[in-house]
Amino acid sequence: MRFENKVCIVTGAASGIGRATAIAFAEEGAKVVLADLEDFESVKSQISNPESHIYLKCNIAKREDVVELIKTTVDTFGRLDCAINCAGIAGKLSLPVHEYPEEEWLNQIQVNLVGTYYCVKFQLEQMMKQGGGNIICVSSAAGLVGQPDNSSYAASKHGVNGLVKSAAIEYATKNIRVNAICPTAIETPMIMHGRRNLAENPAALEQAKNHQRMKRMGQPSEVADVALWLCSDQSSFITGHCMAVDGGAFA
């Protein structure tokens, strides 16, 4: 019960990594504010003490939604101890930069980078008022190295890592830590039914597994465990870190 009575926001909490993270924090005693565009039926049936948490429809790409998310959190629970920003999208297209439709390119930036910026900005504002806190952004390995035919996603995640490192320095003496998690292939709806449609493409699935030295994909719970640790006092001297969670891919 490392997070007993701690208040945690998890964005993207209806699916995949966010869902596993919300469940993991609730298991450790946290009061969780789950935020997503989608409904929460599947997570509600699995989360401990489902009535202790709040479930909010929120589009992180809209400033007013994120302001409302923080306000509802503080109005309900009085504070915000941890925020795990998982919400994000991956484009469905594989195209080089000059062929990529502009609107789609910019939409990924709007959700993954601008949306994460709104979350971090207003989370920091609240954490400054209360004298501390802990922020995690779920970025990507595509925030550490380029990803051919997926430049918008990679640019958005590089942007998230730049935001994380800069904020970590700005708030390092304010009792606020800011870190990123950079996974490679994690078995979630995004990757199984997304751009490469791994669920229906055995060759691409094999390739995705082989990218990790462990020759398998990661599980959402393996990312959630890292988020728990990075938000806990056991990582108290770590800030501004963009941690690869990659089964040895970048070793």
Ligand X SMILES: NC(=O)c1ccc[n+]([C@@H]2O[C@H](COP(=O)([O-])OP(=O)(O)OC[C@H]3O[C@@H](n4cnc5c(N)ncnc54)[C@H](O)[C@@H]3O)[C@@H](O)[C@H]2O)c1
Give the interface with ligand X as residue ranges (CB under 6 A). 11-12, 14-18, 36-38, 58-61, 86-90, 111, 115, 138, 140, 183, 185-186, 188-191
Residue type, 197: N
Nearer Cβ to ligand X, position 185 or 243? Answer: 185
Query: Catalytic: which of 100, 117, 118, 153?
Result: 153
Please tell me whether residue 243 adopts helix, strand or coil conformation: strand
CA 19 to chain centre: 10
Task: Kindly tell me which of 90 and 120 has the beta carbon lying closer to ligand X.
Answer: 90
CB of 169 to ligand X, least distance (A): 23
**Least distance CB 99 / ligand X (angstroms):** 22
Nearest residue to ligand X, scored by beta-carbon proximity:
16
Nearer to ligand X, 88 or 247 (CB): 88
- In the 8-state DSSP scheme, what is residue 115? I
| Residue 60 beta carbon to ligand X: minimum distance, rounded to whole angstroms | 4
Q: How far is CA 16 from CA 11, 60, 163, 185, 209, in A?
A: 11, 17, 23, 12, 18
User: Mutual orientation of helices 16-27 and 220-231 as an angle, nearest 10°?
Assistant: 50
171 catalytic? Reply is no
Distance between CA 151 and CA 12 in Å, rounded? 22
Whose Cβ is closer to ligand X: residue 81's or residue 246's?
246
Q: Where are the alpha helices (DSSP H) in the chain?
A: 16-27, 41-44, 63-77, 102-108, 116-130, 151-170, 189-192, 202-210, 220-231
Nearer to ligand X among residue 106 and residue 172 (C-beta): 106
Q: Report in angstroms how near the CB of residue 136 gets to ligand X at its nearest.
A: 11
Q: How far apart are CA 11 and CA 59, in angstroms?
A: 9
CB of 224 to ligand X, least distance (A): 10
Picking from 20, 4, 77, the residue whose alpha carbon sits closest to that of residue 218 is 20
Active site residue ranges: 153
